């Protein structure tokens, strides 16, 4: 599991560790790791042009000492001193190694630019004189390596308020920072390289975590020799309408492909016909009125994809949410809940899977604010609504009150197409029915769904049905099991 921490958590651990080490030890460890990554990126160091963007803080010191190491290996190294002060010992070491102080005119000529302008202690928008330096670095031909976090990215949240460095690689010290894993900050960070400076024993519980394939492998349910369809989990799906028949097909398909023992689908006649045609494996109940009488026992429900938002859909939602099993609410179900928050007054677990617009309606927030601060708003919704939140988007996050937010690392921009969210609902619903908690079901479903999207797209456009078809291959990739 990849864990990440806020700036305050990192600084607290550094403070404890620095008290136990000779002065300057952590900076030398950081600079050594930074220089090694830069050397690998350059390939051949001798004769290459390296420009350091040096701010007032410790990141500037890291950059100067890394520059010293590169200069001793034959690189041309110039430092643009942009801060109100400069790390004096670092600058002296650079000059002694043959480096020099230069002006910003050298930025376009660099093969490599090391961003040491601001570090994890700076929040909010960048100010002069950093803004033009960031613009010139982003426009330059040289690869940018950011020290700890790209300047302009909030280390604790991923917020970007104004100009920010777009790094090819971010070399982060001691531990991953939350803002490197969450968009918009993650989009500026490029590839992440972690330098171990000895913080491990001094770090608190993480702020966020990203599951690896190994973590998902451990959590995914597997059938045993004595399993039957009921033991594997029976999922109810209340989705689809005369207008949106495909949503029902995709949600049921996602659930079946993810390993549900049985799917009981309920809906009106038009989506019923489509589900029967596409998925003869599903047990289908055609509803003339919004009732669950005679549907049979289920272990979890998926509620909402394409269901509609009228009185009929509201009554069916009330019946589903009146049950005593976990319920996943998506799409039109979220619109119904936004209009009637009383539907959430239940004791059984609830998982909601909104995009930013749906979450905005649920918690009466601005969509742009949610996109800019995904962690903050996902946490707020989980606490305010008493539910587990899977917030979809460029970075999918899973929030549950009093737990570290989980960040999904799989996926592809090709998943931004209609119906893929319905497939995700089915996958997560199948895991809920199999007995996973909302927190684990959401996290594993996001991982598997994102991986299925990558496999289905392979660098080209996809449709939602392709994602559903690729779910078994994604599960095989995670579990290492073959036919």
Task: Could you list the residues known to form a binding site for (6S)-NADPHX, using ranges.
Answer: 58-62, 119-125, 130, 148, 247, 306, 355, 422
Domains and CATH numbers, the chain: 2-209 (3.40.50.10260), 213-479 (3.40.1190.20)
Backbone angles phi, psi at 235, to 5 degrees: -110, 130
- Model pLDDT, residue 99: 98
Average pLDDT score over residue span 385-400: 96
CA–CA dist 477, 455 (Å, integer):
10
pLDDT at residue 72 is higher than 70: yes
What is the percentage of the chain residues whose pLDDT exceeds 90? 94
The conformational region for residue 114 under phi > 0 = left, psi -120 to 50 = alpha, else beta, is beta
Task: Kindly report, residue by residue over 433-446, the tens digit of the pLDDT.
Answer: 999 999 999 999 99
pLDDT band at 171 (very low <50, low <70, confident <90, very high): very high
Average pLDDT score over residue span 403-416: 95
- Model pLDDT, residue 482: 58
- Closest C-alpha among 387, 393, 439 to residue 420: 393
- Sheet architecture: strand order including 262-267: 176-177, 2-5, 208-210, 405-407, 397-399, 388-391, 350-352, 327-329, 300-303, 234-238, 262-267, 283-286
In contact, 290 and 267? CB cutoff 8 Å: no
In contact, 248 and 462? CB cutoff 8 Å: no
pLDDT at residue 209 is higher than 70: yes
Which residue has 């619109």 as its token pair? 335
CA–CA dist 479, 467 (Å, integer):
18
Task: Kindly report, residue by residue over 281-337, the tens digit of the pLDDT.
Answer: 999 999 999 999 999 999 999 999 999 999 999 999 999 999 999 999 999 999 999
pLDDT at residue 461 is higher than 70: yes
Residues linked to residue 145 through DSSP beta bridges, in sequence order:
114, 169
pLDDT band at 224 (very low <50, low <70, confident <90, very high): confident
Task: Could you list the residues known to form a binding site for K(+), using ranges.
Answer: 59, 115, 151
Q: What is the pTM of this model?
A: 0.92
pLDDT at residue 226 is higher than 90: no
pLDDT band at 65 (very low <50, low <70, confident <90, very high): very high
Task: Could you list the residues known to form a binding site, using ranges.
Answer: 58-62, 115, 119-125, 130, 148, 151, 247, 306, 355, 392-396, 421-422
pLDDT at residue 220 is higher than 70: yes
Torsion 450-451-456-458 (CA) sign? positive
Mean pLDDT of the chain: 96
Name the more confident of 381 and 483: 381
- Model pLDDT, residue 366: 96
Cα 285–chain centre separation: 37
Task: Could you list the residues known to form a binding site for AMP, using ranges.
Answer: 392-396, 421
């Amino acid at each position: 599991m990849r864990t990440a921490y806020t700036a305050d958590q990192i600084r607290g651990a550094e403070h404890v560790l620095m008290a136990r080490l000779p002065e300057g030890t952590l900076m030398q460890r950081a600079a050594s790791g930074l220089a090694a990554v830069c050397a690998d990126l350059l390939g051949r160091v001798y004769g290459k042009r390296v420009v350091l963007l040096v701010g007032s803080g410790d990141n500037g010191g890291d950059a100067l000492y890394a520059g010293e190491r590169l200069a001793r290996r034959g690189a041309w190294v110039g430092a643009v001193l942009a801060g109100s002060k400069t790390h004096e010992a670092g600058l002296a070491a650079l000059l002694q190694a043959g480096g020099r102080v230069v002006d910003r005119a050298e930025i376009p000529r660099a093969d490599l630019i090391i961003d040491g302008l601001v570090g994890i202690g700076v929040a909010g928008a960048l100010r002069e004189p950093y803004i033009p330096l960031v613009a010139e670095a982003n426009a330059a031909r040289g690869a940018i390596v950011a020290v700890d976090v790209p300047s302009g990215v909030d280390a604790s949240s991923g917020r970007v308020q104004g100009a920010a460095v777009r790094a090819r690689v971010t070399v982060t010290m001691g531990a991953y920072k939350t803002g490197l894993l969450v968009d918009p900050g993650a989009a500026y960070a490029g590839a992440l390289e972690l330098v171990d400076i000895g913080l491990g024993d001094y770090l608190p519980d993480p702020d966020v975590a990203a599951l690896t394939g190994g973590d998902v492998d451990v959590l995914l349910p597997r059938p045993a020799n004595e399993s039957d369809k009921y033991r594997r989990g029976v999922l109810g799906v209340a989705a689809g309408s005369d207008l949106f028949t495909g949503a029902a097909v995709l949600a049921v398909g996602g659930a079946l492909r993810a390993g549900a023992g049985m799917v009981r689908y309920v809906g009106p006649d038009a989506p019923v016909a489509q589900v029967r045609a596409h998925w003869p494996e599903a047990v289908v109940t055609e509803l003339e009125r919004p009732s669950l009488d005679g549907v049979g026992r289920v272990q979890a429900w998926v509620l909402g994809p394409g269901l509609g938002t009228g009185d009929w859909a509201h009554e069916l939602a009330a019946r589903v949410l009146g049950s005593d099993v976990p319920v996943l609410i998506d799409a039109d179900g979220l619109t119904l809940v936004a209009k009637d928050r009383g539907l959430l007054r239940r004791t059984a677990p609830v998982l909601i899977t909104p995009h930013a617009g749906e979450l905005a309606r649920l918690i009466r927030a601005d969509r742009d604010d949610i996109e800019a601060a995904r962690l903050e708003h996902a946490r707020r919704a989980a606490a305010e609504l008493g539910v587990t939140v899977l917030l979809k988007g460029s970075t999918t996050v899973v929030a549950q009150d009093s737990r570290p937010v989980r960040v999904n690392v799989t996926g592809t921009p090709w998943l931004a197409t209609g119906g893929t969210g319905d497939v995700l609902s089915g996958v997560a619903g199948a895991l809920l029915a199999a007995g996973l908690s909302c927190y684990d079901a959401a996290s594993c479903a996001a991982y598997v769904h994102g991986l299925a999207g990558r496999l289905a797209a392979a660098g080209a456009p996809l449709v939602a049905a392709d994602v559903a078809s690729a779910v078994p291959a994604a599960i095989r990739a995670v579990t290492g099991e073959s036919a």
